Amino acid sequence: MRLAWILDTPDSRRSLQTNGWFFSHASPTGLKITAAGELRGQLNPEILREIRRQGLALVPLVANTGFAVDSAAALLGTAQRRRQHADLLATEAEAGNWDGINLDIEGPFLEYRDEYTEFVALLKTKLGHRQLSVDLVPRVGPPSMTQVPDREKDPQGWVRAWREPFDYQGLAQHADQLILMGYDYTSRLMPPGPVAPLPWLREILAYACSEAPPAALVLGLPLYGRSWVRWPGCSWQEGKTIIPRLLNGWPRREADHTGWQCLTAAWQDEHGRHWGSYDTQSTLARKMKLAVDHGLAGTAFWRLGFEPPGFWEQLLGTEHSG
């Protein structure tokens, strides 16, 4: 499996048209479950037609609005809600002739951990032959949180709390694939650091493979980076997304000494002190190899449109030569 997430943006649509040949599955975004328990949004018909034209499996992404606890609770809070939403999504999949659903429920909803596993089981039963992939915020080791930390007082603890709602063993019994989101190791709320360092990817895969069959796992990888700025006398500002296709003359060096396998740069100008990192074809090829080495089902990429022209051809060449 090679899955691409696709946004309804000009750059993402163009990349799908040009680079769809690289992928087996396409997951267009735009559908969200709200705090009122409603499915909102729509899928761009042009994107759907292009996916079908290229013969890719259509597995739209369904997320909870804002990755908030209240929208997760609207989906999971009661048995009735779980049944209603499973029926709704299965009906949408049949009406749209989808090949499956990519479920992306996120947030620090630890109190609904078991209910989420129950919902995934129910939804898979109703989908029948259609595929169900579930996105996981990865973690290393068993659940550790007993309550959700305060975002303002403990931002790093709050970010870590997003890892806790996922029962790997339980989910693997029902979903066709579990997609490990192998990015945001350093979130935008944290001080500067890499998005997807290689040692961390190895750790999360070792844990995931101990909890679920490797053949049911997919490794998600980033097509973006992050940069931070620190003004004199201030703390680091919130991280900003680096879009590699827009970079021109960005100061950089490969951080081989760290083992991260990404490009990093640190510099200072009139705007303050900067630090940033992102992946290239060569660093992503090394990370894709982890999926092969662990016997995973494949890889997924967030998201089409961030990459520069010729990226996938070069990545394929790097992968084969490596």
Q: Give residue 265's pLDDT.
A: 87
pLDDT tens column, 172-220: 999 999 999 999 999 898 899 999 999 999 999 999 999 999 999 999 9
Average pLDDT estimate for 218-225? 97
Residue whose pair of structure tokens reads 């790997």 in the numeric block: 168
Q: Give residue 255's pLDDT.
A: 53
Cβ–Cβ under 8 Å, residues 89 and 62: yes
Q: Give residue 42's pLDDT.
A: 96
Of 61-75, 90-104, 146-160, the range with the lowest mean pLDDT is: 146-160
Altogether, the residues listed in the chain come to a count of 322
Which residues, in sequence order, are bridge partners of residue 101? 132
Helices H / strands E in the chain, number of each: 10, 16
Of 20 and 254, which is predicted with more confidence? 20
Q: 321 falls in which pLDDT band (50, 70, 90)?
A: low
For the chain, percent of residues with pLDDT exceeding 70: 96
Domains of the chain: 2-224+278-321 (3.20.20.80)
- The reported pTM is 0.95
Sheet holding 298-302, edge to edge: 39-40, 31-33, 61-64, 100-104, 131-136, 177-181, 217-222, 298-302, 2-6, 25-28, 57-58
